[in-house]
Amino acid sequence: MQRLAVNYLTPFAMIGIFKTNIATKEDRQNILQAIRNRFEVGHCHVDLEDCDKVLRITEMKVQEDDMIAFVKKQGFYCDVLE
């Protein structure tokens, strides 16, 4: 019987999509820089024209709850977009 090797040391990368209250270009620039400095992520973007001010993060290797807590600590509302 053949066994599959699983590497538990490599974190699972996912896409995070969150609704926020990030409203200005300056706030967007600041939060995206803070996220990139704190976490290993791929592309991050906040759509300021969307009614939910959607924060989208690719290759996110952190739990959603940790990202939400971090964004909230920066002074913004953040929750999973459903």
Confidence class for position 6, pLDDT limits 50, 70, 90: very low
Contact status, residue 53 vs residue 24, Cβ threshold 8 Å: no
4 lies in some domain: no
In this prediction, residue 14 carries a pLDDT of 85
Contact status, residue 74 vs residue 46, Cβ threshold 8 Å: no
In this prediction, residue 12 carries a pLDDT of 61
Best CA proximity match to 49, nearest among 28, 74, 35:
28
What's the CA angle centered on 44, arms 54 and 20, to 5 degrees?
25
Q: How many domains are contained in the chain? A: 1
1 lies in some domain: no
19-71 pLDDT, tens per residue?
A: 999 999 999 999 999 999 999 899 999 999 999 999 999 999 888 999 999 99
In this prediction, residue 41 carries a pLDDT of 92
What is the domain extent for residue 49? 14-80
Contact status, residue 22 vs residue 48, Cβ threshold 8 Å: yes
3 lies in some domain: no
Confidence class for position 11, pLDDT limits 50, 70, 90: low
